[in-house]
Amino acid sequence: MDIKQITVAGSGVLGSQIAFQAAYKGFQVAVYDINDEVLEKSKNRMKQLEAFYQRDLDATPEELQEVYNRLFYSTNLGKATEKADLVIEAIPEVVQIKRDFYQELAKVAPKHTIFATNSSTLLPSQFAEATGRPEKFLALHFANEIWKNNTAEIMKHQTTEEQVFQTVIAFAKSIGMVALPIQKEQPGYVLNSLLVPLLESAEMLLVNEVAEIETIDKAWMIGTGAPLGPFAMLDVIGITTAYNIVKGKAEATGNPAYIKLSHLLKTNYIDHGKLGRSTGEGFYKYPNPSFIQPDFLKN
């Protein structure tokens, strides 16, 4: 099946980016959200994306103007999906909100329409039944700033049809993504399945006083040739996100190591406004962190 027309449901941070990118690549895109006020915000968000497309992709003013001719906005789910071959859901990461949404969507979307969730942490099988068409449902997960961080993790659940999987892989490529097919459900997809344990191991080495931040990063950078060590990566992700994850684990498990780590992140960093790259300081000081100095990897 060929995807020609798509609907993006939820026009927040990711929804606006997905809609803009698909329209930039020539697709007709309906953008759906719960009220006109939010849709107006989405239009502003998209306007702000123009500068990034010019800077990162050399987009011309004419190309950017064309994007708007392919976008259509609606707060009526039936209208927004009446011509959709694919609906990409990017609404809040709350199980009940998503489940209710899929039940409504199932009633109004055409029978042939494929549904895809952009959820970062929830699994498609949690909503497969609510969609009323589990075989035409899967995950299509983008990264923030999709025009340059252009991975698309496409993940089946147990009863996703192979043909649907292949169609969505082809669609992801056609909007400029590097498609990463994932054959089975996996919390965290591929990227976070690799990244989260790495970052957590680094944090544990620190909190258990095994080694200092720079030592840990140097070991990773020299040993693997990576341009950033785990603590430099955490500064990019943001220490608040790291703290929320660790705090959640501390509360869920009562594990003293997680409790100590969450305390360290809070008192040494968050309470001092050191949230990472975005605030100019986290584990390192920016714009000239020590790990970019020429002698950092030499001794």
CA distance linking residue 278 with residue 92, whole number of Å = 23
Give 33 or 217: the residue with its C-beta nearer to ligand NAD.
33
Instruction: Check binding of 33 to ligand NAD (CB under 6 A).
Output: yes
Nearest to 283 by CA among 198, 205, 217: 217
Which of 6, 8, 10, 177 is close enough to bind ligand NAD by CB under 6 A? 10
Binding segment for ligand NAD among 7-15, 79-87, 261-269, 287-295 (CB under 6 A)?
A: 7-15
Find where tokens 């790259």 sit.
277
Which of 7, 8, 15, 80 is close enough to bind ligand NAD by CB under 6 A? 15
Instruction: Check binding of 221 to ligand NAD (CB under 6 A).
Output: no
Nearest to 171 by CA among 92, 91, 88: 88
Instruction: Check binding of 119 to ligand NAD (CB under 6 A).
Output: yes
Instruction: Check binding of 197 to ligand NAD (CB under 6 A).
Output: no
CA distance linking residue 27 with residue 196, whole number of Å = 34
The edge-to-edge listing of strands for the beta sheet with 137-142 is 71-74, 28-32, 5-9, 86-89, 114-117, 137-142, 151-155, 178-182
In the complex, minimum distance from the CB of residue 154 to ligand NAD, in angstroms, rounded to a whole number: 13
Which of 26, 78, 92, 248 is close enough to bind ligand NAD by CB under 6 A? 92
Residue 227, CA distances (Å) to 22, 139, 232, 296 in order: 31, 30, 9, 12
In the complex, minimum distance from the CB of residue 14 to ligand NAD, in angstroms, rounded to a whole number: 4
What's the start-to-end Cα distance of the chain, in Å? 57
CA distance linking residue 92 with residue 111, whole number of Å = 25
In the complex, minimum distance from the CB of residue 295 to ligand NAD, in angstroms, rounded to a whole number: 35
256 preceded by cis ω (within 30°)? no
Output the CA angle 152-155-161, nearest 5 degrees.
125
In the complex, minimum distance from the CB of residue 73 to ligand NAD, in angstroms, rounded to a whole number: 12
Paired tokens of 134: 């589990």
In the complex, minimum distance from the CB of residue 96 to ligand NAD, in angstroms, rounded to a whole number: 10
Instruction: Check binding of 164 to ligand NAD (CB under 6 A).
Output: no
Instruction: Check binding of 144 to ligand NAD (CB under 6 A).
Output: yes
Q: Could you tell me how many residues of this chain bind ligand NAD (CB under 6 A)?
A: 22
| Residues that bind ligand NAD in the complex, under the rule CB under 6 A | 9-15, 33-34, 38, 90-93, 97, 101, 118-120, 141-142, 144
